[in-house]
Structure 1
Amino acid sequence: MKINVEIDEALERLEVLIRAKEWNEEVSLLMERLQERRRSYFSGVNDDTRHIFKPEEILYLYTENKTVMARTEDGRYRMKERLYELEKELDPEHFVRLSKSAIANLDALQKFEASFNGTLCVYFKNGEKEYVSRKYVSEIRNKLEGKG
């Protein structure tokens, strides 16, 4: 892929042009990426106080008793959104699904350990751990190898 950036002071708003020989998966993915809207901040509740934090501060998101929780270095926060809604608003380059009930920040991971039943156990830099469902193991490997 070749990337060009052209600065034109006469333009009043940003314009993006994609040139390709044909419409293919790569073009589709680029279109999806360009149309995505990412949130700059998230908010969660802890002890009846609403806390504001950036996406990169999230170590992982998980479901506990039908409630979505965000784990940061500073604590655990109850989120109002569902897990799949938060997943759409997180950068897929930095966040990965671990299981039906957990999403992790790749930058917060320290190591992986194979489990006897084919799953992985992920250890975070803060010492906590989560399990990766078999369904998501290949997705995580691809992201870590720069293929996803």
Structure 2
Amino acid sequence: MKITIEDIPEGSEPEIILRCNEPDDALLRLIYSIKSSSKKLIGLTGMQMHVISPGDVFYFEAVDNKVFIYCREKVYESRLKLYELEADYEQGDFFRASKSTILNIAKIKSVSPILYGKFEALLQNGEKVYISRQYVPVLKKKLGL
């Protein structure tokens, strides 16, 4: 793959032009990654609204009809439903890990198999998240296994 970077006049909007015969999955993931890098999440703590970059999110979890956004040190509440977050971010590094969890694969430190076909993911912040056996094939596909 050839990559060319050109200088543009100051004040001009950056532009990306892709030339290819047919975009493959890797190229489509790259395009989605570029597009979603500017997409921000809104997290709530009490009466405050926080702007969160998707790259800072470790995982989303639904508990008691509420959805929470787990970052390195803080937890925020989201107004979005889990299925909405899944639709918005599944093309990137996020995948459904269980019925109530969407996990950021980029934040996984290690993965180990546990009982009955489930996996346990150790995250970079030390938390452990379980991956249901029905979602293990999705994890393997995301990891390229």
| TM-score bracket for the superposition, by shorter chain length | 0.7 to 0.9
- 1:120 paired with 2:119, answer yes
- 1:55 paired with 2:54, answer yes
- 1:135 paired with 2:134, answer yes
User: Aligned partners of 1:124, 1:34: CA distance in 2, in Å?
Assistant: 26
Structure 2 partner of 1:96: 95
User: Aligned partners of 2:127, 2:78: CA distance in 1, in Å?
Assistant: 20
Matches within 5 A, 1:33-48: 38=36, 40-48=39-47
TM-score (norm 1): 0.72
The DSSP-based 3-state class of the residue aligned with 1:117 is: helix
Q: Could you tell me which amino acid in structure 1 is paired with residue 131 of structure 2?
A: V
Q: Could you tell me which amino acid in structure 1 is paired with residue 47 of structure 2?
A: D
Verify the 8 A CA contact 1:112 1:120 in the aligned structure 2.
Answer: yes
Say which one has the larger Rg.
1
User: Aligned partners of 1:48, 1:103: CA distance in 2, in Å?
Assistant: 25
Displacement of 1:116 in angstroms is 1.3
The DSSP-based 3-state class of the residue aligned with 2:102 is: strand
The DSSP-based 3-state class of the residue aligned with 2:76 is: strand
Verify the 8 A CA contact 1:94 1:107 in the aligned structure 2.
Answer: yes
TM-score (norm 2): 0.73
Structure 2 partner of 1:82: 81
The DSSP-based 3-state class of the residue aligned with 2:115 is: coil
Q: Percent identity?
A: 25
Deviations 1:25-65 (A, max 9, x none): x6xxx89x979x74611011113211111110111001111
Structure 2 partner of 1:67: 66
What stretches of structure 2 of length at least 5 have no aligned partner? 5-14
Structure 2 partner of 1:9: none
The DSSP-based 3-state class of the residue aligned with 2:42 is: strand
User: Aligned partners of 1:127, 1:56: CA distance in 2, in Å?
Assistant: 17
Deviations 1:103-135 (A, max 9, x none): 111111111121112101111111111111111
Structure 1 stretches of at least 4 aligned residues deviating more than 6 Å after TM superposition: 2-5, 16-20
Q: CA RMSD in A?
A: 3.3
User: Aligned partners of 1:84, 1:3: CA distance in 2, in Å?
Assistant: 37
Change in Cα spacing, 1:19 to 1:105, as seen in structure 2 (3 Å) is closer
Count of matched residue pairs: 141
The DSSP-based 3-state class of the residue aligned with 2:117 is: coil
